[in-house]
Amino acid sequence: MPPCDRSGEAFRMNAWFVPPIKQKRHRKMKNLKRCIYFLMITGCLTSCLSYREMVNFRDGENLGRDGGDVIPPIPALTVRPDDQLQVTINSYNQEEALRFNIVSNQSQVQLSAQGSNNATLADPLGYRVDSRGRIELPVIGPIPVAGLTLEQVRDTVHARVLATGYLKDLSVQVRFLSFRVTILGEVNSPGTYTIPSQKINVLEALGMAKDVTMFSRRDNLLIVREEEGMRLYGRINLKSRDLFKSPYYYLKPNDVIYVEPHKSKVLSAPDPASRYLGIVLGIATLVTLIATL
């Protein structure tokens, strides 16, 4: 009977047999891969901003291809209680015009020193609209202005001055001194800004604040507005062309713009907990690598 040939069986046994040194090296490589995977996952947990999240008017590449948008009428600004108005009355007869303008004491002294022939109207102070919606001008007295536009206030003052008989040729200028907007949050220069003109939109306001930062939520700007005894809240999306159709696109006096931070900045905030977590993770990773190698 021929001897049993066990060479095939021995080959199969040797094929499954791994020397202890190779097993140890295999375990080290496996642990090293786990450490690398752990570091990759930790890095991925830190939120990063994408290019699309940092671009305004994301659908703006199609702007102009489908024609323009109809510009909605700009809402007329009306005078409200506690507003500050600048009312300036000018005439060829400046001495008589000074009767209807309030000037500072220093300006009055300068005008007296210069004499009436060389007198020029100084920058007038503002008139505060009282709780009853009135301003009080020299000589004329109280004038109700609440609910009127600046053009209507100008015409009203012009008619009241003419009715006194002191001036025949005159011009009246009226503007807001209290047109201020406050910009807070993720902008490069937050603060309260006085608007020299009587019209401003949200993009111009952000331009005054030197634009939003790269960590801003461009799709969720908050506009806080007080109007007719109500506090209103509006949202602006800088990524959409619907921004230009929003009733909050044009700002009103005392509006507050809040630019919300992106979650990536919140996660990267240098608070003590995050610093300790980074130290613990670094030490744990270093110990694991030393033990593996």
Sheet holding 230-236, edge to edge: 191-194, 180-185, 256-259, 221-227, 230-236
Shared-domain flag, residues 162 and 203: no
Number of domains into which the chain is organized: 3
Shared-domain flag, residues 185 and 65: yes
pLDDT above 70 as % of the chain: 58
Shared-domain flag, residues 259 and 272: no
Shared-domain flag, residues 108 and 237: no
Residue 156's pLDDT band (cuts 50, 70, 90): very high
Residue type, 291: A
DSSP string, 230-269: EEEEEEE-TTSGGGGGSTTSB--TT-EEEEPBPHHHHHT-
Q: What is the mean pLDDT of the chain?
A: 74
pLDDT tens digits, one per residue of 244-265: 888 899 999 889 999 988 776 5
| Residues 146, 230: Cα–Cα separation, whole Å | 17
Task: Find the CATH number of the domain harbouring 257.
Answer: 3.10.560.10
Shared-domain flag, residues 121 and 159: yes
| Residue 11 is assigned to a structural domain of this protein | no
Q: Which of 93-97, 124-128, 268-272 has the lowest mean pLDDT?
A: 268-272
Within 10 Å of residue 166's Cβ, how many Cβ atoms?
15
Residue 181's pLDDT band (cuts 50, 70, 90): very high
| Residues 138, 253: Cα–Cα separation, whole Å | 26
- DSSP H helices, 46-191, are 94-97, 105-114, 150-164
| Residue 245 is assigned to a structural domain of this protein | yes
Where in the sequence is the domain holding 255, given as residue range(s)?
Answer: 60-74+179-264
- Which of these three, 161, 176, 191, is where a domain ends? 176
| Residues 57, 241: Cα–Cα separation, whole Å | 6
Shared-domain flag, residues 185 and 225: yes
| Residues 186, 258: Cα–Cα separation, whole Å | 8
| Residues 140, 99: Cα–Cα separation, whole Å | 10
Task: Output Rg (C-alpha) for the chain, integer angstroms.
Answer: 36
pLDDT tens digits, one per residue of 185-229: 999 999 999 888 788 999 999 999 999 988 888 888 999 998 877
Shared-domain flag, residues 95 and 171: yes
Shared-domain flag, residues 167 and 195: no
pLDDT tens digits, one per residue of 22-31: 556 666 666 6
Task: Find the CATH number of the domain harbouring 139.
Answer: 3.30.1950.10
| Residue 6 is assigned to a structural domain of this protein | no
| Residue 130 is assigned to a structural domain of this protein | yes
| Residue 286 is assigned to a structural domain of this protein | yes
